[in-house]
Structure 1
Amino acid sequence: MEQITRFFWFCSGANFALLKRTPTESNKYFGIGATVFFTGVLAALAAGYALFTVFQSLVPAIFFGLLWGLMIFNLDRFIVSSMRKRDNAWAEWKLAIPRLVLAVLLALVISKPLELKMFEREINRKLDEKKTEFIAQSKANLAKGFPEIQELEADIDTLKIEVSDAEAFRDQLQKEYDAERFGEKTSGTSGIVGLGTNAKKKEQQLDAAQLALDDLRKRNQIRIDTLEAQIREFMALRQAEFEKQQPGIEGFDGLAARMDALSVLTTESSAMALANIFIMLLFIAIETAPIFVKLISARGPYDELLELHEEKVKLFKGEKWTIAKGESEARVGYFQDTHFYATDLKKEKTNRKNRAETDRELAKWDNDL
């Protein structure tokens, strides 16, 4: 239990030596450290899932997820440990506002991948619908890209219509021939029963129509078989092109696609939108909890000892600075004194030399005169 306590103290960024001297503060920093730690764990899980949707591989997802979680953990630990309890509450809030903004941004980043995981089933259903739309759109575009298939199918329909028209003409002649034989009076029959002259003419017309129909069927069937072979070739090309696009459609499962699907779901369903907001608020509360704990908690003995320690460091720094400044001033004074003394001696020697030269030149002029 002691090791766990020390670990969470470490997570809170507290000083062990000072905490041991203030037992009443132990639980507070234990809770702060636990919150920071589990926030890092949630960040690692969220990043791992998000990266798994990108890489589709477990090893890089685990590695980068742990790296992201450690980074978030270290950042949260720094945010919490850098806050100090002061006597002025407004000054504390002014210093805490940038940290709160950063904590909210981190909460939003952490919550989004976990939202995608929580609504995974609904998102998968929406992605399947989107894939179906892409497949239909792809087939429609490919159909436009192969107009030859429609033209060939239209030619086949024309040939079949020709055969149908010939069959209808043959059937009409068959009815007239039957009516003539059985003495049925119509506009095209005589109404006399038996195989008379008109019946034989009708029979000859029927036989000719049947021969023409058989010939037309044979010729059109050959043409239809040829056209259908061409259609199969074009359909094979179209299928090959569709199979090239198929992996891209099936691979529509990335992070951006899932976020877009989640956005569509929250737009379509007010319940999901409300759940999405609550999840974000939950993570914001978790991420900002350590900061608010420090802000709303009273100034405790740990804060007093910490301030005392910092003030001692400042006093020690002031003492060292005063000593160093005095030693520096002494060295500067000694340098100035010795330097100026040497300079005065040098000036005196120079003046003596100049006076001697001046006296020699004056004496020489007097002799010349």
Structure 2
Amino acid sequence: MKRRNFFRSIALGGVGAALTPVAKAASSLASEKMKPQTNVKQALAIPRNEYSMPGKYPGKVVKMNSAHCVVDGKPSEAVAYEMLKSGMLYLTGESDLKAAWLRFVGPEDVIGLKVNPIAGKLLSTSHAVTQSVIKQLEEAGIPRKNLIIWDRREVDLKESGFTEENYPGIRILGTEYQDENGSYIDADGKYYGENRIDRSQYFRAAIVEEYDAYTMPYMINSGEESYFSKICTEMVTKIINIPVLKNAGVSITSCMKNLAFGSISNTSRLHKELWHETCAYACAFPPLRDKVVLNIVDALKGCFEGGPEANPRFICQYNALLLGSDAVAVDSVGFDMVLAKRIEEGIQKQEKPGSRRFLELAEEIKLGIADRSKVDLKEIDL
């Protein structure tokens, strides 16, 4: 494994996950009685607000389909814009696009666009979808200076094309970042990432992993606490979640995974025993629960095997966008899309028991609707 790709694997799940595929981590379910304890009950005791998950449209999902959204392997921005426009109008019931966006955000908001750049240029959140979101926000009266494109690792953002050159006037931030010399450590011997974690807000789990010097910059801290990024606790007032639809073993990485593992530090320790719990429980804390107002899943291209990284052999065109305020409902639809493709390709014959456990846990703590029979899916062909 190349050094650069090894570090990307570390970011996904630590050294253990780099050597043992995250697929196994996502699909392995330890006995519920043996699970390490978490502090999710503290999160559930905090009062909700009007924007709290599942948001304005519980259980409602819009799936926009277009056979023309990917041309010669490249997502089309023009088609993505129209898919997004129609999806927003169907989701909100508005006849005016500006009014549809203003259901979720206003010109006074600082909006974080939570993309997923971990798979590099091959399979990160597409610029076609990201630019379409930005254009429509601008048309709704949101100034570019009020937008932040963000994820855990700033280097991944840059490598995937999320740069000042491509997004002038918009801040591009990662919780983990380097100086101009490529160092993660400042003159005082501290990780730069320590400046961007909020030690007052954390997901605690009774499981500890010791990290070596190579891994530590990608975790920021060890111990039982995974601290939320200041990007979501302090810098933004609203979050629009723009993940890519990918498999994670026999499960998926989409809305919930992008938010949970992309917003906290010290994540490697959580993959083996608490993958499902982390996907659900981290989203129950106010920095995510009360700020994520809209989910737009980039399923123009995705993968059905080899995720969350990008193996060209398993990249496919789902030719779709999924929209909803309810991240759990959106992920339940995305789960079925990936499962159907995996069965079609002969990767598996049927759904594996426990593979959608993170959705069930999220529904149990009232973050959204996981039961597909209760999801109101509107499917539109463009």
- The TM-score, its normalising length taken from structure 2, stands at 0.17
Q: Give 1 or 2: higher helix fraction.
A: 1
Q: Give 1 or 2: higher strand fraction.
A: 2
Return the structure number with greater relative CO, CA threshold 8 A, min gap 6.
Answer: 2
Larger Rg, first or second structure (1 or 2)? 1
- The TM-score, its normalising length taken from structure 1, stands at 0.17
